[in-house]
Amino acid sequence: MSALPDSDEKATYVERMFARIAPGYDRVNRVMTFGLDQGWRRRMVTMIAPPVGGDALDVGTGTGDFLPELAGWLRDGRAVGVDFTLPMMVAGLPKIDALANAGRAAFVGGDALHLPFPDGSFDAITTGFMLRNVTDIGQALGEMYRVARPGAMMACLEVARPRSALLRLGHRIYFEGVVPWIGQLLGGDRRAYTYLPQSARNFPPPERLAELMRAAGWAHVRYELVGLGAAAIHTGAKV
Ligand SMILES: C[S@@+](CC[C@H](N)C(=O)[O-])C[C@H]1O[C@@H](n2cnc3c(N)ncnc32)[C@H](O)[C@@H]1O
């Protein structure tokens, strides 16, 4: 498939694509972001500072890269990662098993548009590079809001486009010309990593994403750009 599928087919397309690239996902991510992605996740979790006795949820968790960060903050609570692509979570199991407090982290199968948790279940919510894959960003943000407890914080890491024209050009050449080849060489799947720049191009810019968060109920919404503007971290609170 060379172009983005329409929204009816998108969920199936996304799930199959991530199932295919699951074994090499972490390796490609580290190389593609020059190893910066883990630092962004750490910073995000620090920004929302999950309460030590609380519960945290990572939506579209994939291989669970947020879970060690979240579990590190929690003394008594749980760090739960939810995703609808089971092979991604299977690929991440060794990461969870290696945690000192492994019993506090878990994967759950589920759809970000219909989270399988009751209202007000979590004190901190993260989501990374997931929103551009869903068919309804507002609904996903609303679901996160629903399962958040009053006082909970959420943080979202997503792609953005640098503001300066020069960096924007370099970013475009890198994402559209180089990243698919990194995906081919390290992940064995050029097509999946051609989808990445396509989905990024269609994703709302940071200011618009902030508006969508506010519309979903999130308060005190802020964002900062990281990676020379190639990614944005949004935070919000449920008051
Ligand atoms: C690019 S990966 C990001 C994984 C991880 N959050 C990270 O930071 O690396 C996107 C993940 O979102 C998941 N995803 C996309 N749409 C979803 C949905 N509607 N419900 C649950 N998971 C979804 C995919 O299965 C995939 O694992």
| Residue 10, pLDDT above cutoff 90 | no
pLDDT at 139 over 60: yes
Mutate to test the pocket of ligand 1, among 130, 131, 193, 195 (most ligand atoms within 8 A of CB): 130
Check if the beta carbon of residue 213 is closer than 8 Å to that of residue 142: no
Percent of residues, the chain, with pLDDT higher than 70 = 97
Quote the ligand 1 centre to 81 CA distance (angstroms): 10
Q: Quick one: tokens of 8? A: 């009816």
- Which pLDDT band holds residue 2 (cuts at 50, 70, 90)? very low
Q: What is the distance in A from the centroid of ligand 1 to the CA of 34?
A: 20
- pTM recorded for the entire structure: 0.93
Radius of gyration (C-alpha) of the chain in whole angstroms = 17
Q: What is the pLDDT confidence band of residue 6, given thresholds at 50, 70 and 90? A: low
In ligand 1, the atom with minimum distance to the C-alpha of 25 is 9
CATH fold, domain 7-161+204-237, is: Rossmann fold (3.40.50)
| pLDDT tens for each residue of 97-107 | 999 887 889 99
Closest CA to 22 of 98, 84, 96: 84
In the chain, what are the domain boundaries? 7-161+204-237
